[in-house]
Structure 1
Amino acid sequence: MSDIPDFIPEELKIINETLAERFGHKVDTQLVDTEIRLYKGDRELTQVPAVYWEANECHFIIIKKGKNRFHNQFFYGVNKQYGTGIDEFDDIHKCTVTLLQVQADHALNEGMTKE
């Protein structure tokens, strides 16, 4: 088990409020654990907390890599995984908004929008 702290209530509130604003309704999120390489040179995986949700046939995840250290990703399946081009955020709101914006742009470009 790692010493990465869990999401605090304020971080979860920001995520949930941002999702409700984006989708127009409450989105069910799940607190999960995942394994990642915390740093590019790491050989070992570290278990870290994450927030996961699904919307419009897309899967989203925000991973906590440490205090005020977040990573995000969206995917449509094992072979269709996407990032935002930013490896790490120090602000949970910016992390969430950027993830939603990049995914919305991707869906629009791919003709996948379904509001």
Structure 2
Amino acid sequence: MSNNIPDFTKIELQVVATALRERYAEVIDLQLADAEMQIDKGSGEKVECPVVFWRQQGASFVVYKMGDKRFAGRYFYTPREQFRPAEDEYDEVGDCVLALLVVQADHEAQRAGSI
């Protein structure tokens, strides 16, 4: 990639897969792709970042790798219903995935009237 953001390492992907297996008690199919994202708030420039993507329980999840030790996560139901954890960025992929899963589980509970 021209912007020098490295792809997800095997260890990072293993961390994601393990977190999802613990959360859903099944192996989740992970997809790798690239997506454009504004990684520096002060700049309007978008750069291509590696992403890991999965779908589960009606939601789509994306974890962006924005550089070494820089991860961000989002989940969505439709293009107009997009959500993210409270933190904009995480330095560990496991922390990013965990925060994403927690905020989505809380959101699901709210939608179901459990919270």
TM interval, short-chain normalised: over 0.9
Q: Deviations over 1:10-68 (max 9, x none)?
A: 00000001101100100001001000011112222100000000000000000000001
* Cα distance in structure 2, aligned partners of 1:87 and 1:112: 27
Runs of 4 or more, structure 1, over 6 Å off, are none
Q: Deviations over 1:57-89 (max 9, x none)?
A: 000000000001000001001100001010100
Q: Which residue of 1 aligns with 2:64?
A: 63
* Cα distance in structure 2, aligned partners of 1:13 and 1:65: 18
| Structure 2 gap segments, 5+ residues each | none
Q: How many residues align?
A: 113
Letter in 2 for 1:9: K
* Cα distance in structure 1, aligned partners of 2:94 and 2:34: 20
| Structure 1 gap segments, 5+ residues each | none
Q: Find the residue that maps to 2:55 and give its secondary structure.
A: strand
Q: Find the residue that maps to 2:76 and give its secondary structure.
A: strand
Q: Which residue of 1 aligns with 2:39?
A: 38
Q: 1:112 to 1:72 in 2, by over 3 A?
A: farther
Letter in 2 for 1:74: Y
* CA drift at 1:112: 8.4
* Cα distance in structure 1, aligned partners of 2:82 and 2:20: 20
Q: How does 1:5-16 map to 2 (within 5 A)?
A: 5-16=6-17
Q: Find the residue that maps to 1:110 and give its secondary structure.
A: helix
* CA drift at 1:2: 1.8
Q: Which residue of 2 aligns with 1:87?
A: 88
Q: Find the residue that maps to 2:112 and give its secondary structure.
A: coil
Q: 1:56 to 1:112 in 2, by over 3 A?
A: farther
